[in-house]
Chain A
């Protein structure tokens, strides 16, 4: 029997739009994952909580432009704390497809744009572990 996947979900920085991340939290929770929703948070805090809670995955949501600047910082912070290889990092929201490639280059394991179904989301997340 596979163990329960633990995921930390975060609204990145000062972004005001939380409908998407709440929906994702509900979907993943219904799919049997253990979900911790942190609300709005910044790179240092995100990695600290991820370490404290010993999560498998960190999921970030960004809809207002800070996916590059703050997304990059989260990965840097993870590397600095030597947890980049111990956890998976995913990010989703509203941004150009070219930025999705940039985010993968920074080290995100998966990038989600808005055109994804709930089963695709759940499968993609489960396959990471």
Chain B
């Protein structure tokens, strides 16, 4: 029988009823008790079909019945600067200040998979992230961070560097005596990042890259029960220059293609989908951002349920990390960025994000200083503890405006998903110019609209000031990091067993050439033997061959 009363909706909220009401204690507050959720007095069938209860299909109102009352969103700020030691210090600083998760970012050479002493890396070691060349650096990076208690996001970006760096992380954990089953966190492992949203010197083909993405998922699924095997990334594509629809579309299409491939490899959607997560950018159109998170939650459920016939409820949940939009930050009047990012963060929370990073105001100039990082963390903590917005589930659900916008955005995303699926799927689309043209046309037009004032930015093209602003403190790179890191590498190459290195690299090369073999067990052996990232990457790219992506110009 169809549920039709308010009571039956509430019954569906699997929650301890004694905690149904909560009275926020806030400065100048009235102590009015708040229900866990607010619903129409007489929900009709449209309400139940499109909106429903949180923690129940179609999950528009949230993936859990009690949302932030049960588990608040994870306050997870990115850390990544200079040496592994410096990044470790920043991570521990933020944890000490109350952060509930860590997120580690690597430097340019590590992201692009070159060793710190590679000629290509010169002048860039430790820039915009931590340099990691081997297991030894992983040990330093995670020193004194309780790996079995902390949720760790390893921002490996690409499938290829996930296949290289994540095994190093696993070897480090194992050597510390921490079983893999106790590790919680995520890797990015996203083909979009490696093939589409990246400027680089060398690319493997989208097909090979997708294989590595699925190899990583397969290995993580088989060996780690609490680790997210992929972060379907919309963020970097969005900030690179696409609208919210294309951002959502690409993440979903990658999810669809990935699940299809995993099923071909013998897995079920119910096994794989629960460990897939999403990553979205939150920009300036406040209600559009809120509506999008609700829309993607509903659409993902529908795709899992109706296209993939998932039966495990966890396979139908769109869990996501969100980050405020870096591209919206301005160099002019940089303190305005604090306000911009705070509004964006509020949208993310009202939309029901599981985890959040708030960009720091000084990121318009460089990576954030320690003080600026703390300010971002504090902004998250103020949202969680002082505003009472987390006391009620989906507080803006039921707004005529937001529900209509949610419907419209869902339909627009579905239409774009359909276009890509009909044209042969996401990976195939990476071989053509269409997506590249669409993206570069969009971001070029955006820039023109900013120049001509159609898009207004306070302090930049409207309400501008001629006064020379006071300079702000900006993070400065330490040029000594490179020298120190090169010394460490030299020592590593002298002290390790180079026979083991050679044997493990050879086995990896062999595995890469067999399309049906998962390369992860082999890259794990390479990590154990203290092979460096650059050595492993060299083997992978030689075995798979290089590829030239379409041009954005």
Q: Which residues of A contact B (CB under 8 A)?
A: 11, 13-19, 22-23, 25-27, 37, 39-40, 42, 64-66, 68-70, 73, 94-98, 113-115, 117-119
Cα separation A124 to B460 with both chains bound (whole Å): 19
The 6 closest A-B pairs by CB, nearest first: A69-B123, A65-B127, A18-B199, A64-B128, A96-B474, A14-B108
Shortest Cβ distance from A50 into chain B, in angstroms? 18
Q: B440 contacts A26, CB within 8 Å?
A: yes
Q: Decide: B553 and A37 in contact? CB cutoff 8 A.
A: yes
Contact of B448 among A25, A40, A98, A118 (CB under 8 A): A118
Asked if A14 and B128 sit within 8 Å, CB to CB, the answer is: no
Q: Given A13-B123, A26-B444, A64-B128, do A40 and B331 touch, yes or no (CB 8 Å)?
A: no
Q: Are B123 and A64 in contact (CB under 8 A)?
A: no
Cα–Cα distance between A70 and B121 once the two chains are bound (Å) = 10
Set of chain A residues within 8 Å of B443, measured between Cβ atoms: 19, 22-23
Q: Which residues of A contact B198 (CB under 8 A)?
A: 16
A-contact bits for B97-118, CB 8 A (1 contact / 0 none): 0000000000011011010000
Query: B residues near A, CB below 8 A?
Result: 108-109, 111-112, 114, 119-124, 127-128, 197-201, 240-241, 330-332, 364-367, 440, 443-444, 447-448, 451, 460, 471, 474, 476-477, 479, 552-553
Cβ A19 vs Cβ B240 within 8 A: yes
Interface of B is mostly: loop
- Expressed in whole angstroms, the Cα–Cα distance for A68 and B477 within the complex equals 10
Given contacts A18-B552, A69-B124, list 8 more A-B pairs with CB under 8 A. A14-B111, A23-B447, A39-B199, A42-B122, A65-B367, A73-B123, A96-B365, A114-B330
Task: Name the contact of A14 in the complex, choosing from B112, B367, B477, B552 (C-beta under 8 A).
Answer: B112
Residues on B with C-beta less than 8 A from A97 are: 331, 365, 471
The residue in chain A whose Cβ has the minimal distance to the Cβ of B464 is A115
Contact assessment for A14 and B451 in the assembled complex, using a CB-CB cutoff below 8 Å: no
Chain B residue numbers with a CB within 8 Å of A69 are 122-124, 479
A29 to B332, CA, bound (A): 27
Q: Enumerate chain B residues within 8 angstroms of A73, measured Cβ to Cβ.
A: 123
Flag if B123 contacts A15 (CB, 8 Å).
no
Which chain A residues border B332 with CB–CB below 8 Å? Answer: 115
State the CA gap A69–B109 with chains docked (Å). Answer: 14
Contact of A64 with B112 at beta-carbon distance under 8 Å, contacts A17-B199, A26-B444, A40-B199 already known: no
From A17, A27, A95, residue with most partner B Cβ within 10 Å: A17
Q: Contacts A40-B199, A65-B128, A97-B471 known; A117 to B451 CB distance under 8 Å?
A: yes
CB neighbours of B240 from chain A (8 A): 19
B331's contact among A18, A65, A113, by CB below 8 Å, is which?
A113
Does the CB pair B201–A64 fall under 8 Å? no
A42/B444 in contact, CB under 8 A:
no
A14 with B121: CB separation less than 8 A: yes
Residues from chain B with a CB closer than 8 A to the CB of A27 are 444, 447
CA–CA, A117 to B455, complex, Å? 13
- Assess whether B241 is in contact with A19, with CB atoms less than 8 Å apart: yes
Alpha-carbon distance A73/B123, docked complex (angstroms): 9
A16 B111 Cβ-Cβ under 8 A: yes
Nearest Cβ in chain A — how far from B107, in angstroms?
A: 9
Residues of A within 8 A of B477 (CB): 65, 68
Residues A114 and B364 in contact, CB atoms below 8 Å apart: yes
Give bound CA distance, A108 to B460, whole Å.
25
Q: Is the CB of B201 within 8 A of A14?
A: yes
Q: Are A115 and B331 in contact (CB under 8 A)?
A: yes
Contacts of A70 in B (CB 8 A): 122-124
Whether A42 touches B120, Cβ cut-off 8 Å, given contacts A11-B199, A16-B111, A69-B479, is yes
